Amino acid sequence: MKYWEIEHNGEHIRIEWNERTEFNLQEITFLVSVGGQWVDYHCFPCHGLETEQEALEHAMEVLIEVTEEQ
């Protein structure tokens, strides 16, 4: 698994990639009983990626699209 933690529109976001075809956009949720925990809020596939840079660029494009839809 690869993880990138970024700041986007004032929010702390983590991008999780399984180094194959699956991505998760995650946000941190604070629960009194367990503290902060990363929670998936958008999952998406992508095929044909060859490098980590391509993966991050694709994930950022999806993040921007998801943000615009909200």
CA separation for the pair 37, 26 (Å, rounded): 10
| Boundaries of domain holding 26 | 2-69
Query: Which residue pairs from 28-33 have beta carbons closer than 8 angstroms and sit at least 24 positions apart in sequence?
Result: none
Q: What is the pTM of this model?
A: 0.87
Beta bridge partners of 36: 30
Structure confidence at residue 58 (pLDDT): 96
Domains in the chain, number: 1
Q: What is the pLDDT of residues 12-58, one digit of tens each?
A: 999 999 999 999 999 988 876 667 889 999 999 999 999 999 999 99
